[in-house]
Amino acid sequence: MAVSPVTTTLVSADNPGVGNCCSPKGYCWIFSERRARAEAKRYRRKGLDVTSRRIVDFLKQQGVHGRTLIEVGGGVGGIQIDLLKAGVASAISIELTPYLRGGRLGAPA
Can you give the residue ranges of every domain in the chain? Answer: 20-100
Mean pLDDT (the chain) is 76
Angle value at C-alpha 36, between 52 and 96, nearest 5 degrees:
85
* Per-residue confidence (pLDDT) for residue 24, from 0 to 100: 62
| Angstrom distance (rounded) from CA 16 to CA 34 | 27
Mean pLDDT of 10-21: 47
pLDDT at residue 17 is higher than 60: no
| Angstrom distance (rounded) from CA 98 to CA 109 | 21
What pLDDT, in 10s, does the model give residues 36-51? 889 889 999 999 999 9
